[in-house]
Amino acid sequence: MRALRIVLIIAVVLGGLFVAADRLAVALAEDEAAEKIRSSQGLTSSPEVSIKGFPFLTQVASKQLDEVDVGLTGVTASAGGHSVQVAEVEAELRDVRIDGSFSSATADRVTGSARISYTDLTEAAPKGAKVGYAGADRAGKGQVKVTGPLTDLLEGAGIGVPGPFADLLKGRTITTYSTVVLSGGDTVRLRADGLPRLPVPGLDAKVRQVLDYDLKIDGLPSSIKLDKITATQGGLEFSGTGTDVSLAG
């Protein structure tokens, strides 16, 4: 019995040492992977990397990582010279193959997600416009609500109103619903569905030019192309995919 206890103690100690070595190795690997991803994908800052699965060392021995989760920073959305931060940017790498020299890796599949709040959407919107939740029915159609004092919108865009019409427009607020769509894998387009008729000839078209604008998403890995956008109570949520994503040094 004494010998058995000694064997069990030794096994526990060795097991603890293995776990400690495994966790140290995964921490070092996460730091190295973060730098590889930053340099290979042209990111402005190193992401947060979490390598899943245990034990890590056996995954390294087989040169195959089941899952690597990445949290990205420095992703922005910009429109008309305004730039805002994109929140909750995450990428999930699946079936990551490590090359023989351990100098690079390739992920079979990558899925990415991000969110922009309505507050930040308003910051990037044309001057005077406020972007908000359009309600469940319209959100289900991919729409957001856009409002703003008409005179503020026009002044922000440098559009003058002939004197005789100024009093007609004073105090008037524009409310419309814009449909959001993706274009080119990195651009969000907002297009007003309909605008109230205005008592100034040609002004409707000018207001539409103000409210129809594009948001460019900057800082995503070049291999991830956004392919889905959803309007929620908290803002716009995006997702995208990539395949055979190289993480070369």
Q: What does the pLDDT read at residue 237?
A: 92
Q: Quick one: pLDDT at residue 161?
A: 64
**Structure confidence by residue, pLDDT tens digits, 196-245:** 777 677 777 888 888 888 888 887 777 778 889 999 999 999 888 888 87
Categorize the per-residue pLDDT at 12 as very low, low, confident or very high, splitting at 50, 70 and 90. Answer: very low
Mean pLDDT of the chain: 78
Higher pLDDT, 7 or 239: 239
Q: What's residue 179's pLDDT?
A: 94
Residue 21 clears pLDDT 70, i.e. is over it: no
The pTM for the full model equals 0.75
pLDDT of residue 248: 62
Task: Encode pLDDT of 100-135 as tens digits.
Answer: 666 677 888 888 888 889 998 898 888 888 999 999
Residues 52-64 pLDDT 10s = 877 777 777 777 8
Q: What percent of the chain has pLDDT over 70?
A: 80
- Checking if the pLDDT of 194 tops 90, the result is no
Supply the pLDDT for residue 9: 38
DSSP assignment of 20-84, as one string?
HHHHHHHHHHHHHHHHHHHHHHT-SSPPEEEE-SS-HHHHHHTTEEEEEEEE----EEEETTEEE
In tens, the pLDDT along 64-81 reads: 888 888 888 777 888 777
Region 138-165 average pLDDT: 80
Contacts of 109 (CB under 8 A, 6+ apart): 93, 94, 95, 241, 242, 243
Each residue's pLDDT tens digit, 24-38: 677 777 787 778 777
Phi, psi of 234 (to 5 degrees): -90, -10
